Amino acid sequence: MATTERRGKQRSDTDVAGVVDRNGSRVDDATLLDLYRKMTEVRLFEEAAQRGFRQGKIGGYLHVYSGQEAVATGFLAAHREGDKAITAYRDHAHALLLGSEPGAVMAELYGRGTGLVKGKGGSMHLFDAANGMMGGYGIVGGHIPLGVGMAYGMRYRGEPGVVQLYLGDGAIHNGAFHEAANLAGLWGRDGLNPTLFIIENNQYGMGTSVERATAMTDLAAKFDSYGIAHEKVDGMDLGAVLACAHRVVDQVRETGRPYAVEALTYRIVPHGAGDFFEKYRTKEEVREWRERDPIGLLERRLIESGAADEERLGAIRAESKRAVEAAVRFADESPDPAIEELYTDVYADEVGSGR
């Protein structure tokens, strides 16, 4: 039965205090406050990363997740050990939420030897297999076949995991998406493709709006072509995302069939950290979306429901600030990669067993 039905009539779909978990029990206040801590940590981490980039401490390129926090926070709250997640280059939040050390993530952006992938990946190529973070990828759409193949591999080996496959609204027009979605639907008929496609529709691919990119703007409906069921969720509202995530992640796990969720969201910052001018959208539009900032929205809900007061939320934000400051210090003080590491981890040292 759908989560919303179980919850009863008096609660709206987006009432964070009324969100129930997979067993039908209410998500408790401590869990919600922990998710608030995570969201604020992600936001502050991104602001620090953006500053680091503009100070010239971070090379390459950098894309921050500000405005979209409720999406990954909500879906990854339903992540279980053995599950995997894969995304594109806007990937810092996903790594942090899966449990990567903030210091190691920041050091990776700084290109330091203590970084998550020893300073060899940078912002767009975070990877932390132990936590199920199967990467950030810079080629738009390129990770989609990898995620679908990963989900097939898990069922082939008899593992119960789910792959959360995040993709942008811009990536869905890429040929790789359509080929992979076709196979996901096909393999899913036999219960062999536990892929949860999560479209992070932030309305733009760089400076191109969804309306200018496709004549069929209902992105979730594109999955109809491949026999994959889908729904949409308000991606600014943690309560709505959590309710959806708890329901659909287990559905995918139980059936081995793919499913797609289009999360409607917005990046409240420019596309990349080096972008300053935004001719493709109006200031009013950005301001309107900022009024629905997922962190502000959650704060209001937590206070209204009595889960916390201003003081408590302030203390949590201070905790997140300390964690991010420690991460920046760690990155600043870390050494560059050692010269002996120049040729390590470039190619696989040995070919696997075929698995």
Ligand X SMILES: Cc1ncc(C[n+]2csc(CCOP(=O)(O)OP(=O)(O)O)c2C)c(N)n1
Q: Does 318 bind ligand X (CB under 6 A)?
A: no
**C-alpha–C-alpha distance, residues 34 and 31, integer Å:** 5
Stretch that binds ligand X, among 28-36, 93-101, 169-177, 225-233 (CB under 6 A): 169-177
- Min. distance of Cβ 110 from ligand X in angstroms? 22
For the CA atoms of the chain, what is the radius of gyration? 20
Q: Does 2 bind ligand X (CB under 6 A)?
A: no
Select the residue whose beta carbon is closest to ligand X and give its number: 168
Q: Is 234 exposed, middle or buried (0-12, 13-18, 19+ CB in 10 A)?
A: buried
Q: By the criterion CB under 5 A, which residues form the site for Mg ion?
A: 168-170, 202, 205
The secondary structure element, H or E, covering residue 196 is strand 195-201
Give the type of residue at 154. Answer: M
237 and 14 Cβ atoms separated by less than 8 Å: yes
Q: Which option in ligand X, Mg ion, none does residue 139 bind, with CB closer than 5 to 8 A by kind?
A: ligand X
Which string of DSSP letters, residue by residue, matches 187-229?
A: HHTTT---EEEEEEE-SEETTEEHHHH-S---TGGGGGGGT--
- Min. distance of Cβ 197 from Mg ion in angstroms? 14
Under rule CB under 6 A, which residues in 11-70 are in contact with ligand X? none
16 and 243 Cβ atoms separated by less than 8 Å: no
Q: Which option in ligand X, Mg ion, none does residue 90 bind, with CB closer than 5 to 8 A by kind?
A: ligand X
Q: Does 315 bind ligand X (CB under 6 A)?
A: no
- Min. distance of Cβ 271 from Mg ion in angstroms? 8
| Tokens describing residue 199 | 């479209």
* 3-state DSSP assignment of residue 157: coil
Q: Site for ligand X (CB under 6 A): which residue of 18, 122, 149, 170?
A: 170
Q: Sketch the per residue contact string, 193 through 232, with ligand X: x for CB under 6 A, - otherwise.
A: ---------x-xxx--------------------------
**Under the rule (CB under 6 A), what is the footprint of ligand X?**
90, 138-141, 168-171, 202, 204-206, 271
